[in-house]
Amino acid sequence: MLDDFMLRAALAGIGVALAAAPLGCFVVWRRMAYFGDATAHAAILGVALSLLLSTSIFAGVLVVSLLMAILVSLLSGRDYAMDTLLGVMAHSALAFGLVAVSFVSGVRIDLMAYLFGDILAVGKGDLVLIAGGALLVMALVGWRWSSLLTATLDADLARANGIHPGREQLVLTLSLAVVVAVALKVVGVLLIAALLIIPAAAARPFCRTPEAMVLVAAVIGAASTSGGLQAAYWLDTPTGPTIVSLAALVFVLCSLVDLGRRRFARMSSSDISS
């Protein structure tokens, strides 16, 4: 069955969506949306260095993404705000990556696949990497779930409970780096942040607990990847952008439903009060 390229692509997309769901929720809760862009831009540098050194693309992206995550954790909370720090690092990594790419001959066509993903070219080896990365991230987040939530809610409360907020942020950023590395083949470095943020943002209005939000975000992400894959096949459109576009449409639909629900609730409360 795994010889079917569509099945391999669907499994890869679902695996990335499941790994991205809990991390995307933490990114939304912590207002770290820019971190996904910063890590993705760092992944471009990882791709370029891997091509220059003739090493594994996955290994190069993972190493550079992990270095970015560690650097962000070490520098955060110092003289610069998080968004300023991420902005500087994101654009610097992108610039260095593009400069490095210019030294690699014949990379332009391949670079498009790294930028926007090439999920239809996922092989059995890629599936193993994606599955392993997804399981690692889900196990790590599950292990640190309570501590991550407490540190996200209130740093002072976390310290009072013997939890080090900086350590939990490092766990989160390292997990994000792993997701960026495994998602490279599915949606490409320029769309990874969207796959992290959009399903979580779409799920947020309808969930009362963090666990429910993670589950709903996972469902939205998996449905978006599977539906986007089919839509790209039928419409002959780029697969990665189509997946993200479908997720964006789901977000718009969820926002409209939430807006209608809020207006209906206000109208009902005003009728009751009158």
| CB contact at 8 A, 51 and 104 | yes
CA distance 23 to 174: 11
The span from the CA of 227 to the CA of 2, in Å, is 19
Residue 182 has phi, psi (to 5 degrees) of: -80, -25
Q: Is 53 exposed, middle or buried (0-12, 13-18, 19+ CB in 10 A)?
A: exposed
Name the residue type at position 96. F
Sign of CA dihedral 129, 232, 215, 200: positive
Cα 91 to Cα 253: distance, rounded to the nearest angstrom: 32
pLDDT in tens, the chain (274 residues): 444 777 888 888 888 888 888 888 988 888 777 777 777 777 888 888 887 787 887 788 888 888 887 777 676 656 666 667 777 777 787 788 778 777 776 555 566 777 777 777 787 888 888 888 888 888 888 888 888 888 888 878 888 888 888 788 888 888 888 888 888 777 777 778 788 889 999 999 888 899 999 999 999 999 999 899 889 889 888 888 898 899 999 999 999 988 888 887 777 666 565 5
Residue with tokens 């780029």: 238
The DSSP annotation for 143-186 comes to HTHHHHHHHHH-HHHHHHTT--HHHHHHHHHHHHHHHHHHHHHH
C-alpha distances in Å from residue 39, one per residue of 76, 197, 252, 266, 270: 15, 14, 26, 41, 47
Distance in angstroms (rounded) separating the CA atoms of residues 28 and 147? 17
Q: How far apart are CA 142 and CA 122, in angstroms?
A: 27
The pTM score is 0.83
Domains of the chain (ranges, CATH numbers):
5-192 (1.10.3470.10)
